[in-house]
Amino acid sequence: MSELKWWQRPVRMMRHDYVNELERMSNSDLEELARSKKEDWHINCEWVIGTLSTAGLGWQVTFNTDKFVKYEALGDFDFLREYLPYAHKYGIHVLAYMNMHWYSYDFGDAHPDWEQLNAQGTPYGRVQPLYGSGTTLCINSGWREWAFDLIREAMKTGLDGLFLDGPVVFSDCCYCPACQEKFAAQFGASIPQIEDWSNPMWKEFIEFREDSMADFLREARAAMREINPEGVIFLNGGSWRGGWRVARDIEKVSPYEDFNGAEAFYHPADNVSLYFWATTAKHLAAAGKPAVVFSHHTLGPWHYLPLPPIEAKLSVAQTVACGANPWFAIFDYAMDQAPMETLTPIREINGFCEENERYCTAAQSAATVALLYSSQSTKYYVSDIHDLFTETTAATEKDLGVDAGSDQRVADLARRKEMCDCWQRSTYLGWFEVLTREHIPFDVILDGGLTDERLARYETLILGNATCLSDEQVAALARFIERGGNIVAGFEAGQYDEKGNRREVNPLWPYLGIQAIEGAFPPARAEEYLQIEGNHPASSFAAGRYLARPVNALKVRAIDADVPARFLNPTGRVYVPPQGVSDYPAMLCRQTGQARSVYFPCLAAANYAEYRIHDHQRWLAEAVRWAHGRPMPLRAQAPGSVQIELWQQPGRLLVHLVNNTGDMIRPIAETVPIHDVKLWIRGNRPSQVRSAGGTDISWEYTDGEIAITISSLPLYDILVIED
């Protein structure tokens, strides 16, 4: 492991923020501060403010320089140079936080040609004030050279690297002269003035924005390495919920940064996924760089209040279990308000991670199932099946009536795009949660992972509704299937090319058993059903059993495929009995040689993400297990709230266990102990099985499986299985 650089090893990051009272640090005992970060908080990397993070003062610096304006309240105190020696003494690598997206109006007034402009030619920040007051600048304007000079000056302090908070290309931006000129030179056309998915130039504009962001980061890294060739740099790259509206594509920026990082700031809400941090961690790790998940140690927007201790611990546990690095921000005044409530949970969970970091160093996933996150589909999918686009609302009973939505057809293309975006996000989240709850080990892969080399690692690939795929990607999928690989797909997977242009013939249909798609059922959120047909091994439901029909469903004709379920004829309204079984399948299963496929002609996973109907969880999971065709590497007898991740190192298998079982509310205030958890892991007879956290376990080896019993599961543990 000695050849690994520090940032390729497990990293525990922290940002200790003084907000608008940076002088508080100048009055601190800096050595004691650094010692506490290392010994109390158990970090080995810290972000220190390089440019101000609030009040639009990103143009003011905290270090001494003749080239930029320094924050006046610091006087002669150099925030970076004075703290760095103490941090390095305690083995803490220091990165500067550089605010590159929020600038005051007076700074914008001084540089009017730097501001991002919307299609009307108005500065974005004047119409949508950032954080209530402030503007933002354009990465293609003269500001970029100012930013690169700032990076060089910051690195001269002796920093180990930089985190760039921004820049951000905001929605409906940018139409500044620099962007107009650059776009015209590249495409020979003007930037489209409106969102128009039928216009090829609009799609080029989407790519142009993302490419501009990647180009900015490439040059920013070059500027940094002029001063420190070993420096690291990364930005807030956007999570899986981001996307085209803010020009964030992790695959485009990843080649030019050393970490892939994104925010996962918890905000109290009804619809927060139980695996909130895990979804971000796996998405970031899929891009092939060390990943960092940012979690505020605050109760959402109440920055003077810390998260409940359990939520704080889970933010780290889920992140590390999914192969990413944790980061958390604390505000200095939070330590004034509740010092031990703020410190204790992080000290405990980070201490565990530090003590056991050898088990996370250069570990490789042991999953044999992959879930595709297709940013191409997120960006360009606009279905051309008109029957799908009606306004529906969740069916609710009110005043002795039921609102099941309207049948109003959506004609506006931008609104249709919003609906397709929602379907894509929900489908991905639904599959993520089903696989996690059903203890099916899986990795996330991105569009760039649809290659022979990457797919060779997996036995089963879940495409979901990956609608927009290139010819090269489809060819790689075909070779994967021909080698005996299994796929699970749904709805319009493969129907469009990588830019969202409809194919005359869907090349995936022969592998999925589809002859034709004849249209769609009317979207409905109530009183529509599908029926299980018989005893097919892909489903254990009894013949004749009804399941709720997903809102969106297609009318498909099958060929050379088994049909384990069919849609019922539409009822059209609530309190109407089922109208009999239709001719249209609700599920297709096909086997050719060793390869198996399952196709869902509906957005079943999206429905699960919205309603969490357990029948759908079971239906989807059983389909994956059948498609896999052989025993999974893991079986578990544990609630779905127990997250299980499999990793391996030479000579050992590692099982990360996160007990997310809470008190039935979010934020979680109390962990419910889980007793007598049983795991069956396929493999050779081990020499030893132990708990890294000292949990009481027992094990035995029978018929190619390691059977492990955990008497009482803590919040987080790692089982170490030695060959």
Query: CA-CA distance, 259 to 190, in Å (whole number)?
Result: 35
300-337: per-residue pLDDT in tens?
888 888 889 999 999 999 999 999 999 999 888 777 77
Residue 579 corresponds to which tokens in the numbers above?
A: 């109208």
> What CATH code would you report for 6-103+152-161+210-359?
3.20.20.80
Query: CA-CA distance, 527 to 28, in Å (whole number)?
Result: 65
User: So what's the pLDDT on residue 604?
Assistant: 97
User: So what's the pLDDT on residue 407?
Assistant: 58
Query: CA-CA distance, 98 to 228, in Å (whole number)?
Result: 17
Cβ burial 58-93 (10 Å sphere, 16+ → b, else e): bbbbbbbbeebebbeebeebbbbebbbebbeebebb
Residue 654 corresponds to which tokens in the numbers above?
A: 């590692």
Cβ burial 238-261 (10 Å sphere, 16+ → b, else e): bbbebbbbbbbbbbbbbebbbbbb
Is residue 503 within 8 Å of 497, Cβ to Cβ? yes
- 3 state DSSP class of 137: strand
Residue 599: partners with Cβ closer than 8 Å, 6 or more residues away: 488, 489, 490, 493, 512, 513, 514, 561, 587, 588, 589, 590
Query: CA-CA distance, 103 to 124, in Å (whole number)?
Result: 12
Q: Determine if the peptide bond prior to 360 is cis (ω within 30°).
A: no
Residue 488 corresponds to which tokens in the numbers above?
A: 């699970």
Where are the CATH 2.60.40.1180 domain residues in the chain? 634-722
Q: Among 3.40.50.300, 1.10.3430.10, 2.60.40.1180, 3.40.50.150, name the CATH number for the domain at 634-722.
A: 2.60.40.1180
Where are the CATH 3.40.50.880 domain residues in the chain? 369-628
Helices within 143-291 (DSSP H only): 143-155, 177-187, 200-227, 250-253, 276-285
Residue 218 amino acid letter: R
Is residue 647 within 8 Å of 654, Cβ to Cβ? yes
Low-confidence ranges of the chain (pLDDT < 70): 1-2, 242, 393-407
Cβ count within 10 A of residue 198: 8
Residue 568 corresponds to which tokens in the numbers above?
A: 């019922």
Look at strands 13-17 and 325-331 and give their pairing.
Answer: parallel
Where are the CATH 3.20.20.80 domain residues in the chain? 6-103+152-161+210-359
Which residue in 233, 313, 318, 307 sits closest to 280, CA to CA?
Answer: 318
Helices within 236-275 (DSSP H only): 250-253
Query: CA-CA distance, 254 to 290, in Å (whole number)?
Result: 10
Residue 140: partners with Cβ closer than 8 Å, 6 or more residues away: 174, 176, 178, 179, 182, 212
User: So what's the pLDDT on residue 240?
Assistant: 84
For 432-494, strand residue ranges (E) read 442-446, 460-464, 486-490
CATH 3.30.930.10 fits 369-628, yes or no: no
User: So what's the pLDDT on residue 590?
Assistant: 97
The percent helix, strand, coil of the chain (3-state, each to 5) is: 30, 25, 40
Residue 679: in which H helix or E strand, if any?
strand 674-682
Query: CA-CA distance, 299 to 329, in Å (whole number)?
Result: 12
Is residue 123 within 8 Å of 117, Cβ to Cβ? yes
Classify 121 in phi/psi space as left (phi over 0), alpha (psi -120 to 50) or beta.
left
Q: How many helices (H) and strands (E) does the chain have?
A: 20, 32
Residues 290, 292, 298: CA angle, nearest 5 degrees? 170
